[in-house]
Structure 1
């Protein structure tokens, strides 16, 4: 198998390079912890000179970035004055690439043959297969190596007593035993288990989330994840447990899951059991994405987890209760193996504080009171609502009166054609949001919703005045950088106090123009703020600055999944800060007008939080590399089936 080494962190790649090169040249190379490397990741010191190894994990950055980096490090390399300098990189290199790198590195490199690219590393891995097996991060998704390692482990374990995993052994028919032909199960075996039919590893995350929650409700749950996936040796035992103990079968339904042959085998057994038990609801599909119909259960109503896992769980629990699936509420036990398995893939914590960026803009100023203006005569409610909608400042109809932050003079001027209104109440805004108003007979939640709506309208007016592109999404209004504010491919500078960077808000990818934008959501808990939700809008690139708008919402969804799938957190956050620079270039605040004299004041920089610990996640690309990485400009076209999957 040829690896692209993308699964390795920079540190893991350095260790792999050191092991392979050390074996090839017959020397033991010292390795060093993460940190400044002084142009050296591995070293062998002897009386006749020093052999220096440097590893550059630049598969995502590409050859040009690697060449620039090596040119910048030439002086450091020459200071080392090594007897032999060896460069190892995850970039695929041509002979011309190696010659160019040799010129960039200088005289410390004795021969271009001491530059090893991705193809050279794969050749060494084929030569030294024990090193391939020793680096688990490399072959985590390699079926060949994985089967070899697991099959060897299972072959060793199968000769030992009790080799069936305990989580599975408890579910097997009473007469079944390891190493013997399985006898028919006792007819008294209780059907009290919910079986999850899933594919590994794509469904592991959902399974590890769902299973403990079902067990907390008193159900007994089984999924093959508890067997630790030892090849196919346990398929017969799993099938027996499914045949004799399953009360219900939950089938994770999405295209990639249903394509797994083991899933198809389990479905066939479950369909056979459904006929034998005469239970038309024996299999309950859990819809996690688009999927083809499965013969035998094509008309079964699926529990929808697409809209939200929490909502899906609520519907599933109701269905299990209606269908009287056995459970023990008084003796609910959550199998610790779920948590054990989850921790294996967890990101390790580092006891170092970390500053975390948010997408919240703090509200630092707001009006003291909200005013209610009472009608002093008969008014037409339709005319009143129309006049409020056309008023320059956010207001709301309340009965036959008006709720607003405006003063008496502004109300008189704006609504004189509708009727006469006089100031009746001035209510402290904080009190109105937290308690409502008994005078106006408005409950707390209604009062809070009214203010949220008025704050949103103030945001809409602010964005429209700045010429942003408005688009109505199913769950909110988004405003996007227009062609007049940001040209296609233009980088908008952002950041202060030495952190100056830049990000694109509009660019062309795969014959489409994408435009970054946000939806702003006011909130009063745990403190007053606006939460920004990132949006991306697309148009057809026809050579004009704005392109041709796309009305097909399904096509827009497919484009987001395709073009934006490679954007990382740095890119999303950089675009949000660049967007805020468009809104407030010369001020640290954003002012949203509620009337001629009243406004909300937002901090133009998102709130920063501090965490007492951080994570040991690799940071492969430099901040500015995020904007030139291929995933920013659009990955290769995917088929319609992949986009729908």
Structure 2
């Protein structure tokens, strides 16, 4: 929490200033009674000249009033002739403001760094939370601090505070509570700290941590303590200051929005200055986002393109920066696996029937055909004929490949010339082995047939009236306003066990439309694999809504609107979509030619798992779909950036 210090009186602000600055520079300041301060609210006496601290509580008056006041006190400051003068103020300051004040104060001020504004004070409060708790009026309205104080008091009363886990205790200074390096030899900075948010980054931490340890590095992340909440936050911060060789900062918006991450980042930035290591913090980019304030031009390690590629780059960076690592055999902390198992779902020794997203191919053409022209032809006319042909057809060498027979080709391609079938190839053999007489390898043959099946699927869905949308790497078809009303429930399931699901509805001021992308596969048998899609349009009180052309906005809507959908809802929508797609038929017939079609079963394949999970059903089958997140017209709570 950032304070503006308006809740403090002048005397209380002076007390806070002495405590914070004294702790930061490791000096104790004398305090003086109320009255004229003679440019001195705190003093640390030294033989070579005093260190003088002056506090100006100018939160309401602002910089202009502070500037005028300091001009009037210049003579008093010069008269004190301190070895070091420190100014603390509650007035908001920019870098230019600090420079102007430094010129006014004169030679007693060692530099603008000895002027502490509200931002500096808040950073010190995060660094020294015990001082924050000691000044009650400061945090009386702060819920997080109140919770922390109450929690500590409660644990102390019940005797439940418990020892610090060894994995963390081993990183702390010899005498807790003393400043790092205050006694004995300087600490060895040999630990890589993973700065992350919980629980969103736990999966990444569990993946990365053991891999770094396997390379001989010592790694620490908060999940290794196996302690919930913020119980050990003070010790973690202390260990970060004392033992960190490098800090790995997870970069994604949700992580950086976490206040604890921001607090730890402030500490890490301070440590980087203290040890003079501009590369102390290594950003790990897990998603595209903004630059992080304070990191300058630090180049993030890219994990967006793949975690495997990212960890290779990270290991290279750690090696180049000579981060300490063990020369012996690697030791993997068992707490990584312990934490992973905590989140595991219990397994029940009972078989469970599972509905897949696979549609089995029940029937396919026996052959595929290759045609070549008889005599010279105009290639442009052939291209046009293929484009206008309503069935899948693809150019290959001097001719084309299709499922159509000779009679159909004679009629459909008459405008382009005369064509004769040269090869009639068994389809399964073509997909599995290719066709050497045409110089077509197995992979090329397989890809050709996949493209042709996709074309047949596209034609089928377009004829049915589904809404087509081209995603970055696939085409999806979605329930349209002409097919399904907003909020209408589509029945599906066997007689006596029927359910219904919604395929179009309104949420967050937008109309969502459920759909699928279908991908043909030949292994382990011919089938179509369905991928669920959700498309959004702006709700303008029309049945279809207003199209959205911004892919990023569509992505944000999918993440925000659909994140609460449970598995039963996704499964129900898929089955309702298939009912809409197949109508009264048990099959989906994809036309490959007038007399050739690929027959797909409209019911997804069922698999049997030998075990099941102990997850409870929060809602029964019908209640899942009647949930307020999927029915009715919720209040319009558009995203803030729209």
TM-score using structure 2 length: 0.68
SS of residue in 1 equivalent to 2:519: strand
Q: Match for residue 168 of structure 1?
A: 168
TM alignment of 1:339-350, pairs within 5 A:
339-350=337-348
Structure 1 residue 622: Cα displacement: 2.1
Structure 2 CA distance for partners of 1:369 and 1:213, relative to 1, 3 Å: farther
Q: Match for residue 315 of structure 1?
A: 310
* Aligned residues: CA RMSD: 3.4
Are the counterparts in 2 of residues 218 and 329 from structure 1 also a CA contact under 8 Å?
A: yes
Q: Match for residue 250 of structure 2?
A: 252
Are the counterparts in 2 of residues 362 and 530 from structure 1 also a CA contact under 8 Å?
A: yes
Q: Match for residue 134 of structure 1?
A: none
Residue in structure 2 matching 1:524, options 502, 509, 522 = 522
- Return 5+ residue gaps in structure 1 as ranges: 1-141
Structure 2 CA distance for partners of 1:518 and 1:170, relative to 1, 3 Å: same
Structure 1 residue 577: Cα displacement: 1.0
Residue in structure 1 matching 2:399, options 393, 398, 401 = 401
Are the counterparts in 1 of residues 490 and 576 from structure 2 also a CA contact under 8 Å?
A: yes
Structure 1 residue 383: Cα displacement: 4.7
Are the counterparts in 2 of residues 197 and 249 from structure 1 also a CA contact under 8 Å?
A: yes
Structure 1 residue 548: Cα displacement: 2.8
Per-residue CA deviations over 1:518-543 (Å, capped at 9, x if unaligned) read 11111223322111111222233344
TM alignment of 1:378-397, pairs within 5 A:
378=376, 381=379, 383-397=381-395
Structure 2 CA distance for partners of 1:403 and 1:318, relative to 1, 3 Å: farther
Structure 1 residue 302: Cα displacement: 3.4
Q: Match for residue 600 of structure 1?
A: 598
Residue in structure 2 matching 1:582, options 580, 583, 588 = 580
Are the counterparts in 2 of residues 164 and 178 from structure 1 also a CA contact under 8 Å?
A: no
Structure 2 CA distance for partners of 1:403 and 1:495, relative to 1, 3 Å: same
Are the counterparts in 2 of residues 358 and 608 from structure 1 also a CA contact under 8 Å?
A: yes
Per-residue CA deviations over 1:554-604 (Å, capped at 9, x if unaligned) read 333333333323222212211111111112122211111111121111110
SS of residue in 1 equivalent to 2:505: strand
Are the counterparts in 2 of residues 590 and 603 from structure 1 also a CA contact under 8 Å?
A: yes
SS of residue in 2 equivalent to 1:439: helix
- Report how many aligned residue pairs link the two structures: 492
Q: Match for residue 102 of structure 1?
A: none
Structure 2 CA distance for partners of 1:144 and 1:221, relative to 1, 3 Å: closer
- Return 5+ residue gaps in structure 2 as ranges: 1-145
Residue in structure 2 matching 1:632, options 621, 630, 633 = 630
CA distance in 1, matches of 2:289, 2:154: 31
Structure 1 residue 508: Cα displacement: 3.2
Structure 1 residue 292: Cα displacement: 5.0
CA distance in 2, matches of 1:306, 1:272: 28
Which has the larger displacement, 541-550 or 616-625?
541-550
Structure 2 CA distance for partners of 1:362 and 1:313, relative to 1, 3 Å: same
Q: Match for residue 333 of structure 2?
A: 335
CA distance in 1, matches of 2:418, 2:345: 64
TM alignment of 1:287-298, pairs within 5 A:
287-289=285-287, 292-298=290-296
Which has the larger displacement, 481-490 or 241-250?
241-250
Residue in structure 2 matching 1:412, options 388, 410, 417 = 410
Are the counterparts in 2 of residues 562 and 635 from structure 1 also a CA contact under 8 Å?
A: no
CA distance in 1, matches of 2:284, 2:482: 46
CA distance in 2, matches of 1:280, 1:431: 62
Q: Match for residue 118 of structure 1?
A: none
CA distance in 2, matches of 1:261, 1:548: 38
Structure 1 residue 195: Cα displacement: 1.9
CA distance in 2, matches of 1:149, 1:409: 89
Residue in structure 2 matching 1:208, options 197, 203, 206 = 206
Q: Match for residue 482 of structure 1?
A: 480
CA distance in 1, matches of 2:332, 2:207: 12
Structure 1 residue 284: Cα displacement: 2.7
TM alignment of 1:455-470, pairs within 5 A:
455-470=453-468
SS of residue in 1 equivalent to 2:621: coil
Structure 2 CA distance for partners of 1:259 and 1:330, relative to 1, 3 Å: same
